[in-house]
Amino acid sequence: DVKVTQSSRYLVKRTGEKVFLECVQDMDHENMFWYRQDPGLGLRLIYFSYDVKMKEKGDIPEGYSVSREKKERFSLILESASTNQTSMYLCASRDSNNSPLHFGNGTRLTVT
């Protein structure tokens, strides 16, 4: 079974803090993704990566950056957290373009 592990289940941060969300997958998948999910808005793609050191903006990249130094690890960075970034963050991976996504358990981030 594919395992996608997100480092934190719950996080509480203050406005202006730099926040790191870590994600690791154990199936040697090429593609990795970061989504956020908010009530009424569904899943929205923030960034994705199709290879080590490669990254592409998704639909809502503003206020975020990412890092993929190793194939198994994809990090989401909030440079200066704001209250409108309070959300559920979901990491996912897949092995090819037509394959399904496999999600981690999610990180519920609260910015106060």
Cβ distance to other proteins smaller for residue 5 or 18? 5
Q: Does 110 bind other proteins (CB under 8 A)?
A: no
The correct pick among 42, 62, 69, 84 for binding other proteins (CB under 8 A) is 42
11-16: which pairs have CB atoms within 8 A and are 24 or more residues apart? 11/107, 11/108, 11/109, 11/110, 12/109, 12/110, 12/111, 12/112, 13/78, 13/81, 13/109, 13/110, 13/111, 13/112, 14/81, 14/111, 14/112, 15/81, 15/82, 15/83, 15/111, 15/112, 16/80, 16/81
Which of 17-25, 63-71, 77-85, 95-103 is the region at the interface with other proteins (rule: CB under 8 A)? 95-103
Residue from the set 26, 41, 80, 82 that interacts with other proteins by CB under 8 A = 41
Residue ranges binding other proteins (CB under 8 A):
30-31, 33, 40-43, 45, 48, 50, 56, 58, 90, 97-106, 108
